[in-house]
Amino acid sequence: MKVAVLMGGKSFEREVSLASGKVVCAALEEAGHKVVPLDTNADLVPTLRSERPDVVYNALHGKHGEDGTIQSLLEFLGIPFVGSPASVCHRAWNKDALHSSLAKYRDLTGEDGVASWPQGVLITRDAFKDMGAATALDMVADRVIGGYPVCVKPAHGGSALGIHKVESQEELGEAILDALSYDEAVNIEQWVDGVELSVAVLGTGWDAHALPPVEIVAREGFYDAEARMHEDAVEFFCPVRPASLSPDPAVAEAMRAEIERAALEVYRAYSVRDLGRIDLIWDGGQARCFEVDVSPGMTDRSLFPVACGAAGLSLPAVLDSLVNEAYARGASF
């Protein structure tokens, strides 16, 4: 088939997207498809109408690629695409929506659920700069369970841009301002210590299945934007090392099963389609989920390909399957 691969764009994650797009193009060509790489710009719609691809693969990351913008455009144009529909992407883009999404899902299914999430508060740029919220930062220690340290992060976006571990009120204002340079709102939430994990998921609904969890170990600090840029700053272990969860192999196996169940619960609660990634911290007793990624990175160092490799899946075969499913689904959303 003719597959248009969208990449680049204007988000803060442009360079990562271009790298992902390059890998996706190579994998789809290896699978036998005719690939049309497209750096998204003002000519995107005329080009898509001219090229008439059978399917689009979205390798855009960040704003426009994950917030529902490109998905709603493709829905309008009637072009089948790999990945979640616009409504799902719009909701997943908002990191503050975990609580309401999981609560609604549990009400509908009647399940108690296993996934948890860090508790916190949301502050918008307008409230902080124009309505005096900056004068109330002394309330954060009481509003966030456990007090300091807290995590300050943009309410939307990826690649750990603008994320800070804040140890005291004196550090809070500067961290908020930096996070607001990436987004119009920030989350201030519990800092959760534990084993950092990312769980890639393939499929849709009850047919979705988790791939082996990737354990992320930063040599210093945590897996922030800086660590993601330097290969020697972080180590990945896939699947997660049993000893990282428990010294008892049987207990570690049960904990891994709980982690995968939690990732699938979040994935299904958001109705993610085709593929995604759930990022979480295992705090020793619970999976504390903090992000849903509807457009996982596909670079040589991205976590989704690492998980595919650990599961014995080749990336060309995985992407070929997703493209064929999207084509069979057609332009129905």
pLDDT confidence tier of residue 226, bands split at 50, 70 and 90 = low
pTM of the complete model: 0.93
DSSP 183-197: -SEEEEEE---SEEE
Q: Summarize pLDDT for 7-60 with one digit per residue, the tens.
A: 999 888 899 999 999 999 999 999 999 999 999 999 999 999 999 999 999 999
CA distance 149 to 154: 17
pLDDT at 229: 65
> Per mean pLDDT, which range of 103-112, 138-147, 152-161, 217-226 is the poorest?
217-226
Q: Summarize pLDDT for 165-176 with one digit per residue, the tens.
A: 999 999 999 999
User: What is the residue-averaged pLDDT of the chain?
Assistant: 93
pLDDT at 118: 87
Q: Is the pLDDT of residue 230 over 70?
A: no
State mean pLDDT over 169-196.
Answer: 94
pLDDT at 269: 95
Copy the structure tokens of residue 236. 């990945």
Those residues whose C-beta lies under 8 Å from the C-beta of residue 234, and which sit 6 or more positions away, are 216, 217, 218, 219, 223, 227, 228
pLDDT confidence tier of residue 242, bands split at 50, 70 and 90 = very high
DSSP one-letter code for 145:
T
Q: Is the pLDDT of residue 231 over 80?
A: no
Sign of the dihedral through C-alpha 177, 163, 300, 115: negative
DSSP one-letter code for 282:
E
pLDDT at 158: 72
Q: Is the pLDDT of residue 233 over 80?
A: no
Question: For residue 109, how many other CB atoms are within 10 A of its CB?
Answer: 12
Q: Is the pLDDT of residue 224 over 70?
A: no
pLDDT at 199: 98
